[in-house]
Each structure stands twice: as structure tokens, then as C-alpha cells.
């Protein structure tokens, strides 16, 4: 069974959102509603939470879209964050 590009993007998005929810729960953080235009600084997560999310997603996808070699700025919104992984895991 072949996975379409659209299915792949939905899968990446779903996994990113799942990690946000899981880390928030583990760190006892109150997570804001996960919408694309949510500023990451207003998500309810701190830098440790983001480090855990990035490490877990790197383990899953074998890529860190924010590594020093990439020279990409860290995303500002949740939508930007998801798009970074969709592009990197593409």
C-alpha cells in the first residue's frame, strides 16, 4: 500500500501535535489550544519542553530541522513548527 504525500503530511502533523500534548502532560504544563497561528511562546511550553519534543521527533524522523547546519530560524508559530517537520521529513 502506497502512502500519498497528503497522508504523509497528515501523519507528520498528527505526530507533532501528539508530542506537544504528551510533553505538556508529562511536564504538568497547561497547553493552549493547538491551532496553526498559535505563537510558540504562548503555547504553555517552556524551552525544556521544546527540547524534548525536538529530540523525540529527531529520533522518529532522523532529522532535526533546526540544527546548526541548516541555519533555519526557529519557527514562531505552531504552524511554522509543523511545516518545518513536514518539509524535513518529506
* Domain range summary for the chain, segments of one domain joined by +: 5-89
Is residue 31 packed enough to be buried (19+ CB in 10 Å), middle (13-18) or exposed (0-12)?
middle
pTM value is 0.85
> 5-89 maps to which CATH number?
1.10.1200
In DSSP terms, 77 is beta-bridged to 39
In which band, very low, low, confident or very high, does the pLDDT at 10 lie, cut at 50, 70 and 90?
confident
The whole-number pLDDT of residue 9 equals 61
Amino acid at each position: 500500500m502506497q502512502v500519498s504525500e497528503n497522508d504523509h503530511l497528515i501523519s507528520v502533523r498528527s505526530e507533532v501535535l501528539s508530542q506537544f500534548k504528551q510533553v505538556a502532560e508529562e511536564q504538568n504544563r497547561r497547553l493552549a489550544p493547538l491551532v496553526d497561528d498559535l505563537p510558540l511562546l504562548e503555547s504553555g511550553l517552556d524551552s525544556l519542553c521544546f527540547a524534548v519534543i525536538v529530540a523525540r521527533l529527531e529520533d522518529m524522523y532522523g532529522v532535526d530541522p533546526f540544527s546548526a547546519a541548516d541555519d533555519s530560524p526557529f519557527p514562531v508559530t505552531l504552524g511554522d513548527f509543523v511545516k518545518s517537520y513536514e518539509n524535513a521529513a518529506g
